[in-house]
Amino acid sequence: MTIKPGEHLPETTLQRIGEGVETLDTRDLFDNGKVVIFAVPGAFTPTCSERHLPGFIANFDEFRKRGIDVACVAVNDPFVMHAWGESQHVPDGLMMLADGNGDFTRALGLEMDASAYGMGTRSKRYAIYAEDGVARQVLVEAPGEFRVSSAEHVLSLL
């Protein structure tokens, strides 16, 4: 079942590269303050690399001015997420989080079967705006679309 506005974000772990691989509890990451979590089907994939992540990079300062953290999540390993972030010149503070086994994605009810593309289970494209760990906006893209989860659209709703 897909997370709905008013529901608490699930407690799982995500990973990132810091001083080695860091495993982070989602409650520690998202329960204190405002955050936009956006997910992509895969690092280095066309729409994700050409439009989705670049939009959040371009608008990162505007989110920060509003006191909102930004986190990018994908069902990829932390090394891939780190390399993708470096290749896209992600600013310090924009979290590149790996959901390697898809635990967070499944707990949100936002997984999709991308086996036809050789990618296995991945995340649907979405953006969630949360305050103190509670989802306030849940914006899930229809298959093959990129509109409601864009940085610009998310900002227009805040």
Q: Contact at 8 Å (CB) between 150 and 48? A: no
What's the CA gap between 118 and 116, in Å, rounded?
6
Joined together, the tokens standing for residue 135 give 């989802």
Catalytic position from the list 48, 75, 95, 135: 48
48 annotated active-site: yes
Joined together, the tokens standing for residue 45 give 């994939």
Give CA separation, 95 vs 1, 6, 17, 115, in Å.
26, 23, 10, 27
CA atoms within 13 A on the CB side of 133: 12
Task: Provide the annotated active-site residues.
Answer: 48
